[in-house]
Structure 1
Amino acid sequence: MSENPLPPSQTALTLQAVAPGGNALVSRTFLGLLVAQFLAAFNDQAIHAAAMFFAINTQALTERDAISLMPILFYAPWAIFCTVAGYLADRYSKRNALVAWKFAEVAITAVAMIGFWMGRNGYESVGPWVVLATVFLMGTHSAFFVPAKYGVMPEILPTHQLSKGNGILESLSFLAVILGTVSGGVLSYLYLGNEVVIGGFLFGLAIVGTVASVLIRRMPAANPKRTFPPYIYGPLVQNLRTLLSQRPLRLAVTGIAFFTFVVAFMRAAVYMLGESQNPRWDELKTSAVVGTVALGIGLGSPLAGWLSGRRVELRLVPLGAVGMIIACVAGAYLIADVPKLIFCIIAIGLCTGFYIVPLYTLLQHKAPKTSKGDMIATSNFINISGAISATLMFFLVVFVAQRTGLIPAVTPAQRTQLGRGTLTSLLLSRGRPVYFEITKDDGTVVTGGEKPGPEQPLTVGELVDHVFASGTGPTVVLEVAKGIDFKKPQQPGAKQRVGASRFEISGVTHYDLVPGDEEPSTDYDQRHLPRYLFLGAGGLTLLMLLTILGPLLRVRREGV
């Protein structure tokens, strides 16, 4: 591998990091950190997914609104609190910061549990928003937890074990993302109508993680004399200057920001993959496929750490980027073959691990010792800017595709108007509307959809089949616009005027219900959109590689 080993760390730091047995990777402190951060990342994603499904199932938000709102709720605190998070990580012991925020996580999951209970016990208009608020609170928790987590790594590991330690840390982090993302969907599916069980489960995990964080040994603050900035975002400007003025740090933060941009774009693309299916995948299957990206990263990160050995192995960065490009292009052309597509998505994640581990290690190694938390918090600010930019670009791409006809719209000639009248029946299956009856003004009854059978709890085998088995799915889809009360048709004397229409896409019948005299919103045949998005992700990765390749070669020649 690289012939440029890491320069020796300060003697005191090295002695402090090494465990009594000589291997800091098996020390009580490192193991406690791994368990605490694993459960924190799991709860982040599980609450993210469960809150989204809960808001949809209680009709607080439409599916599209919920998917769009979740990243904003979770990532906004990273930008808002980046300066304060960096200050606290350096001014006080990082161990104390980690433990404090694990206790905060216990409180947040308790609030989520209360919100789930409220949403199903007479407070339907409040409960979902309480749960959604916990997504913002978990984002705040992460904004403060992550700088301390990454900043503490050089304090508990000697430099020759930092790459391996980061590989393990990243692997477990993304494994937690997989399990959290999938579990949020699985638990929402299994405990529909009784989501308080989900809150109790996450509350228990938060307690276990808090106990694990106490195992981290006490350590001094990196900069105990630092004063709180008179202008809260003043340090952000100074930190940006520091990061961008030194070539190794500039390379690290630029490369990581590009990574966050591409991964955010890819995540949105995979969610759209589920949304654009005909018929659309349910949230459970979509969340499982989204989780396979993290599965690949969880495999690639420890492998990258192992290949790096005792060095910051920057040669893995372009190798990972090239692999991401190839896998994105292959995924675009295999988009209709789900098993092969999942293999490509895992490959994207695997190569992403090769790309990101050396850059995080470089940032940790080169950041000033007295302000590592500050530098990492500022890097997070840049990353979140990249993630938000990716979200905006994603919606811009979809908007342009719709306006240019790249995604064909359902024309009025293709849509059959079934008429307007009083909604007399709206049947649900697992919280989703599947069948309706309308009595028109002339007494004619209009029906659509398929009547559901009795709901039975799914066995583990049936759950696995539901998520991963191939199949065409239902041939009838019912879409109900926001503003239609699911419960009103069952209330005696309650009247709700609606309009119904029908169209077909490739043999699948779609029904639209809209309130009052409203017209249905434009529907699109989006089956080919994911192919363009995957190709776009490959193009963005190529742009990323071309941007950082020159600086990367110069940093490697100068030695790290």
Structure 2
Amino acid sequence: MRQNTSCSSLPPSPPPSQFALLRQRRFAPFFWTQFAGAANDNLFKFAFTVLVTYQLSVSWLPAAQAGLVIGALFILPFLLFSATSGQLADKYPKTSLIRLVKDLEIAIMLLAAWGFFASQVPLLLGCVFLMGLHSTLFGPVKYAYLPQVLSERELTGGNGMIEMGTFVAILLGNVAGGLLVALPGIGHTAVALACLGLALLGRISAQMVPVLPATTPQLHINWNPFTETWRNLQLARQQVVVFRSLLGISWMWFFGAVFLANFPAFAKEVLHGNEQVASLLLVVFSVGVGVGSLLCEKFSHRHVEIGLVPVGAIGMTVFAIDLYFATRSLPLQAEMGVAAFITQPAHWRVLADLLLVSLFVGLYSVPMYALIQLRSAPTHRARIIAANNILNALFMVASSLIVGLLLGRGWSIPQIFLLLGLANAVVSFHIFMLVPEYVLRFIAWVLSRLIYRFRVVGDEHIPITGPAVLVANHISFVDAVLLMAASPRPIRFIMDHRIFKVPVLGWIFRLAKCIPIAPHHEDPQAYERAFDTAQQVLAEGDVLGIFPEGGITGDGQVQPFKGGVVKILRRAQKEGLQVPTVPMALTGLWGSFFSRIESNGAMKRPFRRGVFNRVGLNIGTPLAGAEVTPAVLQARVQSLLG
């Protein structure tokens, strides 16, 4: 029977939007608690910065240094106490910690209110440090909470909502802080009441967060922040993909901090705009990150799709570099406000570059956060997040020092943006080469989203954890790449040794650590080595992919399944492993560019089926190991073809 060249006729069941989480108790109260906290942090910090910069004269705190001092005080607790906060989040119920942190915020805001009323700068500086401590305690709880209440298919959308909410809260907090503190006669009182009101709203929403059990209640707390910081970093290094992702996120904070810290000077010295223009840049950047974060769910089809990370990195580099060239043709003129600024066509390119840079930052960061949450063991997930917070703080401090050094040596801000874009290309390439999974997922994402119109039905049948064997029909040279795109987890494929000789595809499959196999009569050692490696993959709890036909079909029909998969499963059973076998059927690939087209071979007529050929993957329910025979598997795959 010739395979159907269209996707399955099964009706699609589109999952609900990520915005639906805002109607669910497991997510909504937590979202608003996080939102209120982020808004309060920034309202308080920005209002205090304006206060000491424009309204109070403090001899020991020069106005030019106020922003730097306040920022440093806020970041300091992340360096000192992140390790401790990670332990607390693993040991104690996260709901209890969320409520305790919100109680602490109310107490801090009461002190800050007195500081604003009495214009007590030392007290307000102390409150900045305490609010930094408040955020340090909340950080590991925030990112460790989501995997406890969201499924893998919801994790990207949930993280996107949190990232979007955080940047919107930062934006609104900064705008509100600047407006309130400038109110004639009542500015200080208005800021104090607003900060206290946000703290109370955060505490009310925290009370509605569902109660969750502690993940590691037996954990012994190490109160030494230095030894525990080192221990957390070593703990993160045990999982290579997770640790490299931590570094990638920290680099993102380095990248973003350079932009955010230089917006006022960029607006004044380069764009010839006033403080309103600086605020406009912040608005555009925040909106871009929020939009990029929300787009992650759509582009990932509700999976943790780290193939978006290289997409984000490429966009960050391209538009950071273009921002430099966009500033070279700006006219010299007097300082202007927002209305005059946006009437100049030369400024539209600048705003577009900033919007796109930040949008790709969102595409870059959300999948990385989701990957860390998914791959970290629940028993020490919060400590991994704490290690990330430490690295983030170090990278942000480093960004301030490096940019300060470059500005001191006469570099312009556009030149720094150019250098940052080039450095992003180098750093991202290095990370992706250290963790090839990013490159592989990127290739799979491009193939399944931009070259083919790829539709997956039944992807919920792929186990999220534990060993599994995926079995599919073999139609083309890119079958394995499409299966990678459909799976939320990395797949180790057993493949005919000859396919490794195909240009480009051979490099991809070696990068994916695919397992070459040769017929027993050709190379007995390679044959047995492939089965030994497959056994090791399953023993480590990973996913194995097999094409039981033994080769690509030459006529579009399903060829007889061979017994290798049964041999692998029987060996796993002897080792005490329960390994589900998931049948899959690829559709629509026969006759396409990468298939063997009748007697003419593959890749001869690339436009025979059109550039955006519709292909599909139908995934059936898993079979227990005892049920599996070649005939049963073949029949199940054949039935999935429709």
**TM-based fold match above 0.5:** yes
Give yes or no for the alignment of 1:137 onto 2:122: no
Tell me by how many angstroms 1:275 deviates.
4.8
The residue number in structure 1 matching 2:81 is 81
The residue number in structure 1 matching 2:154 is 161
Tell me by how many angstroms 1:371 deviates.
1.0
The residue number in structure 2 matching 1:329 is 321
Tell me by how many angstroms 1:193 deviates.
6.2
The residue number in structure 2 matching 1:33 is 30
- 1:25 and 1:157 in contact (8 A); partners too: no
Distance across 2 between alignment mates of 1:132 and 1:533: 30
The residue number in structure 2 matching 1:252 is 245
The count of aligned residue pairs is 405
**1:446-485 equivalence runs, <5 A:** none
1:150-206 per-position Cα deviation (integer Å, ceiling 9, x unaligned): 111011111221111111111111111111122222223335763221110121111
Tell me by how many angstroms 1:75 deviates.
0.7
Write the letter of the residue equivalent to 2:425: L
Distance across 2 between alignment mates of 1:62 and 1:281: 21
| 3-state DSSP of counterpart to 2:26 | helix
Distance across 2 between alignment mates of 1:332 and 1:67: 25
Write the letter of the residue equivalent to 1:359: M
- 2:180 and 2:187 in contact (8 A); partners too: no
Please, which of 303, 306, 313 is the counterpart of residue 298 of structure 2?
306
Tell me by how many angstroms 1:539 deviates.
2.0
The residue number in structure 2 matching 1:384 is 393
The residue number in structure 2 matching 1:66 is 66
Write the letter of the residue equivalent to 1:541: N
**1:147-226 equivalence runs, <5 A:** 147-191=140-184, 194-226=187-219
Tell me by how many angstroms 1:281 deviates.
2.8
Give yes or no for the alignment of 1:360 onto 2:357: no
Give yes or no for the alignment of 1:320 onto 2:331: no
- 1:151 and 1:364 in contact (8 A); partners too: yes
Give yes or no for the alignment of 1:533 onto 2:533: no
Write the letter of the residue equivalent to 2:36: L
Question: Cα gap change, 1:24/1:50 in structure 2, threshold over 3 Å: closer, same or farther?
Answer: closer
Unaligned runs of 5+ in 2: 1-15, 331-345, 441-483, 491-642
Highest RCO, 1 vs 2 (Cα 8 Å, sep ≥ 6): 1
The residue number in structure 2 matching 1:236 is 229
Question: Cα gap change, 1:268/1:230 in structure 2, threshold over 3 Å: closer, same or farther?
Answer: closer
Tell me by how many angstroms 1:556 deviates.
6.3
The residue number in structure 2 matching 1:451 is none
Question: Cα gap change, 1:193/1:537 in structure 2, threshold over 3 Å: closer, same or farther?
Answer: farther
1:107-138 per-position Cα deviation (integer Å, ceiling 9, x unaligned): 2222222111101xxxxxxx123223222111
Write the letter of the residue equivalent to 1:90: D
Tell me by how many angstroms 1:288 deviates.
4.0
Give yes or no for the alignment of 1:289 onto 2:281: yes
- 1:239 and 1:375 in contact (8 A); partners too: yes
- 1:44 and 1:180 in contact (8 A); partners too: yes
- 1:154 and 1:162 in contact (8 A); partners too: yes
Question: Cα gap change, 1:192/1:540 in structure 2, threshold over 3 Å: closer, same or farther?
Answer: farther
Please, which of 400, 405, 422 is the counterpart of residue 396 of structure 1?
405
- 1:191 and 1:198 in contact (8 A); partners too: no
Distance across 2 between alignment mates of 1:47 and 1:182: 11
Question: Cα gap change, 1:164/1:111 in structure 2, threshold over 3 Å: closer, same or farther?
Answer: same
Say what the alpha-carbon RMSD is for the aligned residues.
2.2
Give yes or no for the alignment of 1:51 onto 2:63: no
Distance across 2 between alignment mates of 1:185 and 1:288: 13
| 3-state DSSP of counterpart to 1:223 | coil
Distance across 1 between alignment mates of 2:180 and 2:427: 37
The residue number in structure 1 matching 2:116 is 116
Distance across 2 between alignment mates of 1:130 and 1:279: 36
Distance across 1 between alignment mates of 2:67 and 2:177: 14
Q: Larger C-alpha radius of gyration, 1 or 2? A: 2
Write the letter of the residue equivalent to 1:546: F
Query: More deviation in 187-196 or 48-57?
Result: 187-196
Write the letter of the residue equivalent to 1:75: I
Write the letter of the residue equivalent to 2:135: S
Using the size of structure 1 for normalisation, the TM-score is 0.69
Query: More deviation in 540-549 or 173-182?
Result: 540-549
Write the letter of the residue equivalent to 1:53: V
- 1:266 and 1:537 in contact (8 A); partners too: no
Query: More deviation in 196-205 or 542-551?
Result: 542-551
1:510-540 per-position Cα deviation (integer Å, ceiling 9, x unaligned): xxxxxxxxxxxxxxxxxxx222122122122
1:483-525 per-position Cα deviation (integer Å, ceiling 9, x unaligned): xxxxxxxxxxxxxxxxxxxxxxxxxxxxxxxxxxxxxxxxxxx
1:218-250 per-position Cα deviation (integer Å, ceiling 9, x unaligned): 111111111111644323222212222322112
The residue number in structure 2 matching 1:523 is none
- 1:82 and 1:381 in contact (8 A); partners too: yes
Question: Cα gap change, 1:326/1:153 in structure 2, threshold over 3 Å: closer, same or farther?
Answer: same
- 1:185 and 1:287 in contact (8 A); partners too: no
- 1:117 and 1:195 in contact (8 A); partners too: yes
Unaligned runs of 5+ in 1: 1-18, 120-126, 407-528
- 1:293 and 1:349 in contact (8 A); partners too: yes
- 2:307 and 2:438 in contact (8 A); partners too: no
Tell me by how many angstroms 1:555 deviates.
5.6
Question: Cα gap change, 1:297/1:280 in structure 2, threshold over 3 Å: closer, same or farther?
Answer: closer
Tell me by how many angstroms 1:370 deviates.
0.7
